[in-house]
């Protein structure tokens, strides 16, 4: 069973859907398409209690050879990071 924080991170990441893959959608990719990245983000949140834009970009770079800010823009990543950090406040 997936850790609740990882599942919550994946739900947020699926909503952002940086590459327009429509996870879990009728014509989209599997709902867990972004699971490895969600797990990495959840790990940062667990270890440090919060994430930064740099953390997100570093993780995304490792998986996709480009920072997430380069895919969806800094404002969208800043909002994504805020949503991730909100998960640790629940």
Residue 60 lies in a domain: yes
Q: Residue 69 falls within a domain, yes or no?
A: yes
Number of helices (H), then strands (E), belonging to the chain: the values are: 5, 0
Tokens of 64: 């996709």
User: What pLDDT is stored for residue 2 in this prediction?
Assistant: 67
Residue 10 counted as domain residue: yes
Render pLDDT for 20-68 as a digit per residue (tens, 0 to 9). Answer: 999 999 989 999 999 999 999 999 999 999 999 999 999 999 999 999 9
With bands split at pLDDT 50, 70 and 90, how would you rate the model's confidence at 1? very low
Q: Which tokens go with 6?
A: 């990882």
Q: Is residue 23 part of a domain?
A: no
Do 53 and 20 contact (CB within 8 A), yes or no?
no
Is the pLDDT at 89 greater than 90, yes or no?
no
Residue 90 has pLDDT above 80, yes or no: no
Total structural domains within the chain = 1
Sign of CA dihedral 44, 46, 52, 56: positive
């Amino acid at each position: 069973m997936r850790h609740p924080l990882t599942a919550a991170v994946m739900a947020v990441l699926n909503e952002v859907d940086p590459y327009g893959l429509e996870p879990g959608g009728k014509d989209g990719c599997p709902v867990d398409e972004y699971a490895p990245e969600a797990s990495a983000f959840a790990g940062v949140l667990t270890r440090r209690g919060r994430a930064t834009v740099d953390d997100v970009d570093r993780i995304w770079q490792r998986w996709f050879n480009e920072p997430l800010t380069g895919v969806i823009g800094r404002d969208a990543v800043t909002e994504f990071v805020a949503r991730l950090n909100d998960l640790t406040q629940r």
